[in-house]
Amino acid sequence: MKRVTHNGIGWNNADEDFVEIELYNPNWPDEFQREANRLRAVLPRNLACSIEHIGSTAVSGLAAKPIIDIVIACGERSRWNEFREPIESLEYVFWAENPHPNRMFFVKGMPPFGQRRTHHVHVRLPEDAVLEIAFRDALRAHPALARDYEALKRDLALRFRYDRDGYTEQKTQFIQEALGK
């Protein structure tokens, strides 16, 4: 099977794994709940972890990349190695090249392992998940902020359609400013 690699400029699957924004889908919260239940069923039961729906699909009415972002916040980092096999059993691919050594990242459906990304699972320390949860909550509480964010994402999706890293980097300043308010 083809491997996803980075040549210092971009990912070799960028043509297949492009950025697109879709209208809000009212099924996204249910999709999150189903996947969270599947994750709870396979993860070690003796770990205190929370599972949260983050990202734009967690904000009612907000257009988004059609990818359910899930964060598993778990303070026992020494036991994270117990997560890999169970999460992979749910058709996720572990992203070993994650540039953040204090995080784990899994993708479901990413080309060439699937036809289209459907879910991301981010394993983080609880304090490392705070900003994503705070941004989600800010978007939920402030419709004008959500509209501005949607407009930015639509523009970036056009400019960075085949550059997910560029798309994400360009959103960072907006997110930091929103959380600073």
For residue 32, being part of any structural domain is answered with yes
For residue 18, being part of any structural domain is answered with no
For residue 1, being part of any structural domain is answered with no
For residue 12, being part of any structural domain is answered with no
CA distance readout (Å), 53 to 8, 34, 73, 119: 31, 11, 11, 11
The CATH number that applies at residue 100 is 3.30.460.10
For residue 59, being part of any structural domain is answered with yes
Measured over all CA atoms, what is the biggest interatomic distance in the chain, rounded to whole angstroms? 46
Is pLDDT above 90 for 140?
Answer: yes
Q: How many domains does the chain have?
A: 1
> Which pLDDT band, with edges at 50, 70 and 90, does 144 fall under?
very high
User: CA-CA distance, 167 to 147, in Å (whole number)?
Assistant: 18
For residue 3, being part of any structural domain is answered with no
| pTM higher than 0.75 | yes
CA dihedral 144, 30, 169, 173 (to 10 degrees): 30
For residue 160 the two structure tokens come to 């960075």
For residue 115, being part of any structural domain is answered with yes
Phi-psi map region of 144: left, alpha, beta (phi>0 left; psi -120 to 50 alpha) = alpha
For residue 107, being part of any structural domain is answered with yes
User: CA-CA distance, 60 to 109, in Å (whole number)?
Assistant: 24
Structural domain range at position 66: 28-180
User: CA-CA distance, 78 to 81, in Å (whole number)?
Assistant: 7
User: CA-CA distance, 101 to 158, in Å (whole number)?
Assistant: 30
> Which pLDDT band, with edges at 50, 70 and 90, does 102 fall under?
confident
pLDDT in tens, 30-68: 999 999 999 999 999 888 899 999 999 999 999 999 999
